[in-house]
A and B are shown apart, each in its own frame.
Chain A
Amino acid sequence: MAAIETFELTKHFESLVAVDRLDLAIDREIFGLLGPNGSGKTTTVKMLTTLLAPTEGDATICGHSVIGDPLAVREQISYVPQDMAVDPKLTGRENVIFFAKVYGVPRPREVADEALAMLDLAPRADDLVRTYSGGMRRRLELAQALVHDPAVLFLDEPTIGLDVAGRKRIWEHITALKDRGMTVFVTTHYMDEADQACDRIGIIDHGRVVATDTPVALKASVCRDIISIRADGSLPDELPGGVAFLGMTDGELRFEADRGDEAGFALSHVLTNAGMTVRSVSVRQPTLDDVFLALVGESDETEAFDDRRFRRMLRRR
């Protein structure tokens, strides 16, 4: 039994199909759900966290149905929405103790102290949250979410609006949680972060999951590595196995291969042996951006612009 399983999970808002027959199985990994605005990411998270009732289908969290036993589901999960809701008038410690008490955790103060220490917030625990940076607030939210040691953690855009250092730190903590055996379900717009941190990725568009796999497999499925070589002389007829010649642009020979680094080295060797003078070799691997654009395209956003969220993001900068 996987920690998160969905069975034809569907949500309609009147005539709009926000999520369309979603089938997923996620267990003890960081699973990233990527998609354009309005593609159904947040609706999916809200159904899995029992905040929205599915129109059709079902989902289970640690074996408990989100429809049949929502209370048992809430016992197993923690949810950090993208709004970054921590009380600025309370201290960091008060914020975490409050959650520990509402979760019904025994010894809430000690547990809160442990969570604050784990998220490197202990030195600032007694400061009012209004003095915290965006990154610290996000870590405080993680501390709140961890006080009852959930089996599954849902993070909706956990790094939105944070600076590079803040984003890096949040992902380090998320990865550490996965290493402890937690299942982490995350939505994000940042492809580079998903590429580095997620074990598997699902790409959702118009409510349908169009691809689910590891970042490496997804990139390999869309296009192969591109090798660019600047060299003088005539191109030999025989190329190393698996390498295809794409053409020449601005004096640069372009090839396609599965493992660009190895193929680039072999190709350079073959060209030199054939009498060519190789001046430079560069390899570009496809990114998740390429995968995303190939699967989803560059269609206009369908969701209305949320100026409240935009203002909040500006305030955090």
Chain B
Amino acid sequence: MRRMFFYMERDFRRWLRGRANVLSTLILPAAWLIFVGLALPIRFTDNYLDFIAPGILVLTMLGASLQGGSLLMFDKVLGYLQKFLALPAPRESILFGKILFITLRGLIQATVILVIAILLGANFLSPILILSIYAVLFIFGVFLSSVMTTIALKVDDHDSYAAINAMVSMPLFFTSSALMPYDQMPGWLAVIARANPVSYAIDCIRDLQAGIFPAATLLGLLLGAVLVLLMSVTVFRKATV
């Protein structure tokens, strides 16, 4: 298992050496929060920032995971993956390394959002609340980065990955509870939103904000992550190039 940290370390080194990457990773979530959180004319709540901040946090992790899957595509197209698969290290350590890097990079972005949200007046000051939010985001990050990394392993090229990415990202976000509560949605949308894993993560954070422990939602998210991870490990163990 130690080897996954070496794969993760490699990705962090590569990421940190691309200044434009680091800058865009940190600026983008802040822009989302400011433009969506402060600019939309919303009437169903007095504090839209408090409402939208969990959505933006999960959206950030969603974006990080979708973008992160392409890392494996690069490794595959540039020939690194062939070498990694011929190493004696368990092949799932490649998957775990990617998941760790993508999720931790997403958590760094989430930290930027949390800091700005707090500065703008959102109620995220309790350390336990912040730690719980990190835990939810981590589980969600593992869930989605596992899916996307495995998709990148199976599809042929960047174009196919980009097509799947586009097909997944928009529906996942807009059919979630990120932008409005369930009672404000049309009935059909509420049904979809309640099954959407993005909503699970957002609802967990909103419940934690309200002082409720979201046992059932969190369990659902955790089970989803474990299931997806098991499937991804199986696919990676059988990987061929």
Contact = CB atoms under 8 A, between A and B. Distances in A.
B17 A77 contact: no
A74 B87 contact: yes
Interface in A83-135: 83-85, 87, 89-90, 94, 98-99, 101-104
A62 B87 CA distance: 16
Interface residues of A, number: 30
B14 interface: yes
Contacts of A102: 3, 6-7, 84, 87, 89, 93
Contacts of A187: none
Interface stretch (A29-37, A46-54, A208-216): A46-54
Contacts of A244: none
Nearest to B10: A98
Contacts of B230: none
A205 B6 CA distance: 41
B88 A75 contact: yes
Contacts of B43: none
Given A83-B78, A83-B82, A51 B240 contact: yes
B9 to A, nearest CB: 8
B78 A74 contact: no
Interface residues on B, range: 20 to 34
A87 B82 contact: no
B155 to A, nearest CB: 16
Interface in A44-89: 46, 49-53, 71, 74-75, 77-85, 87, 89
Interface string B74-88: 000111101111111
Contact of B240 (A52, A79, A81): A52
Interface in B1-56: 3, 6-7, 9-10, 13-14, 17-18
A189 B83 CA distance: 21
A316 B169 CA distance: 37
B233 to A, nearest CB: 15
Contacts of A49: 86
B79 A83 contact: yes
28 contacts: A49-B86, A50-B85, A51-B82, A51-B85, A52-B241, A74-B87, A74-B88, A75-B88, A78-B86, A79-B82, A79-B86, A84-B79, A89-B14, A89-B17, A90-B10, A98-B9, A98-B10, A99-B87, A101-B3, A101-B6, A102-B6, A102-B84, A102-B93, A103-B87, A103-B88, A104-B88, A104-B89, A144-B83
Interface of B: 3, 6-7, 9-10, 13-14, 17-18, 77-80, 82-89, 93, 240-241
Q: Which 7 pairs of residues, A with B, have the shortest CB-CB distance?
A: A83-B79, A85-B79, A79-B86, A74-B88, A101-B6, A89-B17, A75-B88
